[in-house]
Each structure stands twice: as structure tokens, then as C-alpha cells.
Amino acid sequence: MERMSLSRDPALFERAEAAFRREAARIRELLPDADVQHIGSTAVPGSRTKGDLDLQVRVPLERMAEAEAALERLYDENEGSGRTESFRSFKRDDADPPLGVQLTAIGSDMDFFARLRDALAADPQLRERYDALKLRFDGESMDEYREAKAAFFAEILGRGAN
């Protein structure tokens, strides 16, 4: 069973930011008009993090197929995530740090990752609640954490859990 481990080590945030710049440049070589965002806990200073890097690649719906093909050249499909007309998830577990890439159609129901990042960065109390949720699952099952995280994010976004 995959277990979660958390840290606030500033070196993790620095490494993630450097990796974001590198990966964003690689993505923009293939998709120059894509909006590439650093999302996830390493994009929110002071957060507890697993130390991985999360990116969101935003494109118009009509460019999803092109963007999927481009990202398939760089990353593995994240088969643990759902796939829809407006969302696809990729990963690279052997990267340093490990990374996840969320491809979303701009304006779709899955185009929320940067909004979550911004909400957590703007509201210290919300960030503390999220960190407390993460601490409850530190060393525990990643599947259970992901379920609780989805419910928390749904609350932030003002909608029911998916």
C-alpha cells in the first residue's frame, strides 16, 4: 500500500520550482500557446508537501487531442486518474521530484487546479485546514487521503464531491 509522507523542507519547494521552470519550458516547446501552471502544495509556500511537483496544462477544448499527443511524448499516462473529453492526467515517477501533469480544457469542469492553488495561497486558515487534513493521513493510505482531499477540494469549490 502506498503511504504518504509530508515535509515543509524549503529545499523541496526550491527543487520543485526549478523543476517547474524546466518542465514548463519542455511543454511550451511542443505547445507554445498552452497555459502552464505550477499547482499543488509546492506552489503554496509554507504548505506541507509530499515533495512532488504538480502542473496544470490548460488548452482550449478544440486543442485537447493535439495537447494529449504532445504530452504523451514527454510523460506516462496516469492510469489511476479518470480521463474525459476535457481532462487527462500524466505522470513521471522517475523525475526529481516526481511529477504529475493535469491537462485540462480551459473553462471545463476540470479546469479548477489553479483556482485551488490560489485559494490556498490567499487564505492561511484554509491552508492550515488542508495541512491538518494532510497530517491526519501522514504515514497512512494514499487512497484514503485522496478521497478526503477530493471532498475538501469540492467544499472549497462549492460543489459536491465527485
CB 96 within 8 A of CB 19: yes
pLDDT of residue 2: 66
| Structural domains of the chain ordered from first start | 10-157 (3.30.460.10)
pTM strictly above 0.75: yes
Residue 56 predicted with pLDDT over 90 = yes
Residue 12 predicted with pLDDT over 90 = no
Residue 128 predicted with pLDDT over 50 = yes
115-8-130 Cα angle (round to 5): 40
Q: pLDDT tens digit string along 64-115?
A: 999 999 999 999 999 988 899 999 999 999 999 999 999 999 999 999 999 9
Backbone angles phi, psi at 99, to 5 degrees: -135, 155
Residue 162 predicted with pLDDT over 50 = no
Q: Of 47, 11, 20, whose CA–CA distance to 123 is shortest? A: 47
